[in-house]
Amino acid sequence: MHELPITQSIVRIVCDEAERNNLKKITEVRLKVGELSGLVPDCIQYYFDIISENTIAKGAVVKVEKIPLKMKCKSCGFTAKLDMFKENKCIKCGGNELTRVSGNELYIDSIDAE
């Protein structure tokens, strides 16, 4: 249930950005959201509709692109989605020291406005 504060900042950021560029109405907001963030796109849209009620972002569609969780082998540098690694071992070299390279992000990719 952390969509609420996150959506509040998203609405604030896109409205600021649109006003800076003299735009009158935001029609679409595209977000990139890591798999690990646990954010539910429907919840973001739900809160967005409420929070943006009296702003120029009212009625905008929120599109969420999921970024998969990816891991990297420390020994050989092989990088792939987590499910490519069997039992947390590298399929190339057998190394078991994996680090996360993506999956936790959340950012505004772009907005459409008039």
Site for Zn ion in 33-62 (CB under 5 A): none
By beta-carbon proximity to Zn ion, the closer residue of 50 and 93 is 93
Number of residues that bind Zn ion (CB under 5 A): 8
Find out whether 96 and 90 touch, Cβ atoms under 8 Å: yes
Report how far apart, in Å, the C-alpha atoms of 73 and of each of 47, 68, 87, 101, 106 are.
38, 16, 13, 10, 24
Query: Which of 78, 80, 82, 112 is the binder for Zn ion (CB under 5 A)?
Result: 78
Each residue 86-105 as x (binds Zn ion by CB under 5 A) or -, in order, gives ----x-xx-x----------
